[in-house]
Amino acid sequence: MDVSTEVLMDIFKNRGIRSSYTRMRIMGYMAANRNHPTADEIYSRLIEEIPTLSKTTVYNSLNAFVEAGLARVVTIEDNEARYDVDVSDHGHFKCQSCGRIFDFPVDMDCIEPKALEKFRINKRDVYFKGICPGCLDNK
Amino acid sequence: MDVSTEVLMDIFKNRGIRSSYTRMRIMGYMAANRNHPTADEIYSRLIEEIPTLSKTTVYNSLNAFVEAGLARVVTIEDNEARYDVDVSDHGHFKCQSCGRIFDFPVDMDCIEPKALEKFRINKRDVYFKGICPGCLDNK
DNA sequence: TATCTTATTGAAATAATTACAACTTTATTA
DNA sequence: TAATAAAGTTGTAATTATTTCAATAAGATA
Ligand SMILES: [Mn+2]
Ligand SMILES: [Mn+2]
Ligand SMILES: [Zn+2]
Ligand SMILES: [Zn+2]
């Protein structure tokens, strides 16, 4: 059991969810590839190494992560949920040309404290779309 | 043909899409009920008065409106698209208790001009979730 | 180890949205 | 106004993402 496995087990335990081989692989994939993958992308990649993996398990695990506060859902596209291990406040930019999703910092406090004074805010999402610098250069 | 019908026909013509009875009813519903309805909500409401209405037509019309810049999609929930005739920049707050969606003003420029300097931004969405004042009062 | 709880699996169900072909309506032109 | 072309409407079927469910397997507890 290597050190990163041990670290993940601790994280799971601290958040009150069981650690299992599959969950550690899924979380490991997300931590290594911070590309805001879909459940299907995670499944397609991991099925190569875990032939018994079920897509239901991927969904179950991701839902467990989100509930435990270990991941967030990125719904920048209306036909697919993406997942992000970075649960800190930040915005997402999706390039309409290459499809890549970029993180960017957001000053949430500056957005509009006044109109929402009487609201309790639990989640904040900022989604921008357009063309990324790389795609702009390729005309 | 009353005056609002005439106005709608002009709007459609200006945006390069044909006017039809169904489209005017759908757009009329959205203009009157600015509740960010789903396609299904629009369909359920209008089928009472237009018995031949097809849900496909609702989707087709809404997609035409969005392409023509007459409406925007609000994907604050990952399992359903909502539609908004207010295409100006503003944020959306969804109450996790009563489900209502509230508009609020957003200073888009303050969010983060620096990190996205080299990006071309076409769409901006700000989605907050939490509890609305009414639901907070009802403890 | 025995036991209880939770995770995994695969199949089937659900639900939102789109594709398609036949038909109807709207816009254009004569 | 009548003929024609282009686009909108409809119902059904297909697609796709996600959930439900019951059986089985694995993890945690004592
Ligand atoms: Mn992110
Ligand atoms: Mn709105
Ligand atoms: Zn790009
Ligand atoms: Zn509420």
In percent, the amount of chain A with pLDDT more than 70 equals 96
Mean pLDDT rounded to a whole number for chain A: 93
In percent, the amount of chain A with pLDDT more than 90 equals 86
User: Under an 8 A CB cutoff, do A126 and B111 touch?
Assistant: yes
Distance of C1' in C12 from CA in A62, Å: 22
Whether B61 shows a pLDDT value over 90: the answer reads yes
- The predicted model gives A36-57 an average pLDDT of 97
Q: Domain extents for chain B?
A: 5-84, 91-137
Residue at token pair 């209008």: B46
Quote the minimal CA–CA distance from B107 to chain A in Å. 6
- Predicted pLDDT of residue A129: 95
Whether A94 shows a pLDDT value over 60: the answer reads yes
- Predicted pLDDT of residue A30: 97
Q: Residue B43 and residue B50: Cα distance in Å, rounded? A: 9
Just give the CATH number of A91-137: 3.30.1490.190
Residues 100-139 of A with CB under 7 A from strand C: none
B18 Cβ within 7 A of any nucleic strand C atom: yes
Q: Residue B89 and residue B117: Cα distance in Å, rounded? A: 19
Whether A1 shows a pLDDT value over 80: the answer reads no
- CATH fold group of domain A5-84: Arc Repressor Mutant, subunit A (1.10.10)
DSSP summary character for residue B134: H
- Predicted pLDDT of residue A22: 97
Residue at token pair 């489209």: B23
Chain A contact present for B106, CB below 8 A: yes
For the stretch B43-51, contacts whose Cβ atoms lie closer than 8 Å and that sit 24 or more positions apart, written own/partner, are: B49/B25, B50/B22, B50/B25
> Which region among A98-112, A125-139, B29-43, B122-136 has the lowest average model confidence (pLDDT)?
A98-112
Query: Which of B82, B103, B111 to probe the A interface (max A CBs under 10 A)?
Result: B111
Q: What is the 3-state secondary structure (H, E, C) of B23-74?
A: HHHHHHHHHHCCCCCEHHHHHHHHCCCCCCCCHHHHHHHHHHHHHCCCCEEE
Dmax of chain A from CA atoms?
A: 53
Model confidence at B110, pLDDT cuts 50, 70, 90, reads confident
- The predicted model gives A121-126 an average pLDDT of 95
Q: What is the pTM of this model?
A: 0.92
Q: What is the pLDDT of residues A16-31, one digit of tens each?
A: 999 999 999 999 999 9
Q: Residue A97 and residue A38: Cα distance in Å, rounded? A: 18
Check if the beta carbon of residue B72 is closer than 8 Å to that of residue B66. yes
